[in-house]
Amino acid sequence: MSFATLSIDRPGPHVMLVTLNRPDVANAMNSQCGTDIMTLFEGLNLDGGDTRCVILTGAGERAFCAGADLKERKGMTDEAWTRQHLIYERMVRAILACPIPVIAAVNGAAFGGGCELALACDFIYAAEQARFALTEVTLGIMPGAGGTQSLPRAVGERRAKEIILTGRPFTAQEAYEWGMVNRLCATGKVAEEALETARHIADNAPISVRQAKHAIHFGMQMDLASAMMLEIEAYNRMVPTADRREGIASFNEKRKPRFQGR
């Protein structure tokens, strides 16, 4: 796969590393970048091939993503703005709908849409020097790529209101303490640590991983009884699989399982 604003690498079996590659503008998203991310994840939704885990990061150590490219937006008509924003809406929905686990490796600043991009991933590893912010209200707009929904689900309603309504930046340490970030990493090590976790995920049975992700994500949006029904439906998907038989066989034979996604 080739994209104008993304670098795609395969750092290990079944792992895809996606790098926002606009370091000269702090990896800010212009229309092309939003389209590239949307196209990539819509493609993974249709056919993930042998990919079992995705890592999303930014080029360099300065920024993960500074949000929307405001220079591109200068002088935009209302109609053009709305058309462009639809790209970002579809982009986030494509990430949220991705059945493959997605890890955000936040190597630097994640502001505005960049923060929302990280929140759309399944979980976040962040460099210790990384900073986050949803600054939209300081620009006469508001978060519109899932921020008002994903942030309170991560840090709670009251904390999310404070973050969004003030527009003030916060540190990776604060994000970790509030439950938004899963792990703090030393400078220059965030992609490496995300890759280590991605390899663990990729070693597991891919159908099991996808069904577990599905049950967690949608179950959290249901009442408990409905979520329990969803879980057992997801569980029963594994019973007739070759991977389930391989998992039990490998345990009893005291060897590493060889999962095929079947």
Q: Could you say which of 42, 61, 79, 136 is catalytic? A: 136
Active site residue 136: yes
What whole-number distance in Å separates Cα of residue 100 and Cα of residue 208?
A: 11
Task: Name the nearest CA neighbour of 18 among 145, 105, 130.
Answer: 105
Q: Answer yes or no: are the C-beta atoms of 84 and 101 closer than 8 Å.
A: no
Q: Answer yes or no: are the C-beta atoms of 126 and 174 closer than 8 Å.
A: no
What whole-number distance in Å separates Cα of residue 191 and Cα of residue 188?
A: 7
- End-to-end, the C-alpha distance of the chain in Å comes to 25
Q: Answer yes or no: are the C-beta atoms of 209 and 52 closer than 8 Å.
A: yes
Q: Could you say which of 42, 116, 157, 196 is catalytic? A: 116
Kindly report the backbone phi and psi dihedral angles of residue 105, in degrees, each rounded to the nearest multiple of 5, phi listed first: -105, 90
Helix (H) or strand (E) holding 224: helix 224-236
What whole-number distance in Å separates Cα of residue 91 and Cα of residue 139?
A: 22
Beta-sheet pairing, 170-171 with 131-133:
antiparallel
Task: Name the nearest CA neighbour of 36 among 8, 63, 61.
Answer: 8
Give the residue numbers annotated as catalytic, written as ranges.
116, 136
